[in-house]
Chains A and B, each alone.
Chain A
């Protein structure tokens, strides 16, 4: 089955700790994205990567970091510098956008709670 997996589904951390969210895809997509969703809100882009070993900041990158060492994987680290990390995090992938965008395929999400 082709798709995107995110793990874990629920994650609990103490304030001050870094935490890494996993995102893996087997769709052979070049582009991958991380979004944050707060209750009743839309999706806000954190980071995105159009190709291996390259990534760009989105609208709310402060307090987050990413790496893209493999095509299949795009892990997101929520650092202790992120002031309000409790949220629903969604990973997505797509064909590499060149001149136009394509549909994005989303994972099931990770709900992070920091206390």
Chain B
């Protein structure tokens, strides 16, 4: 299936450090999205990058997309304890008309004060 795979599964860093997590997927896409989930809560949309874009910024977030490698990365700069959460990538499937997203298993980020 198209399900994305995040890497690493877990990441533990100190406040102030940068956090990088990666996502790989299998088929051609229209766009790729990143979401954040605090423990026991719903997901919150962070950023959407289209297949014709290579990089996108939003505040302390930087997302890159390499469609030739079918991969994306999410960089959180100057991390804070409040960034502790699970981060998921989600892709669609350009070859499908179903209009659904495929979510990976997520990266659990822990930021220590």
Contacts and interface: CB of A to CB of B under 8 A. Distances in A.
The answer to whether A binds B is yes
Interface of A: 4, 31, 33, 35, 40-45, 48, 50, 56, 58-59, 88, 90, 92, 96-109, 111
B98 to A, nearest CB: 7
A43 B30 contact: no
Contact of B101 (A4, A50, A104): A104
Nearest to A96: B99
B48 interface: yes
A101 B101 contact: yes
Given A40-B105, A42-B3, A42-B106, A97 B44 contact: no
B45 A104 contact: yes
A107 B100 contact: no
B100 A33 contact: yes
A45 B1 CA distance: 12
A39 to B, nearest CB: 11
B41 A43 contact: no
Given A40-B105, A103-B33, A97 B41 contact: no
Contacts of B33: 101, 103
B42 interface: yes
A41 B100 CA distance: 18
A90 to B, nearest CB: 6
B59 interface: no
Contact of B42 (A31, A99, A109): A109
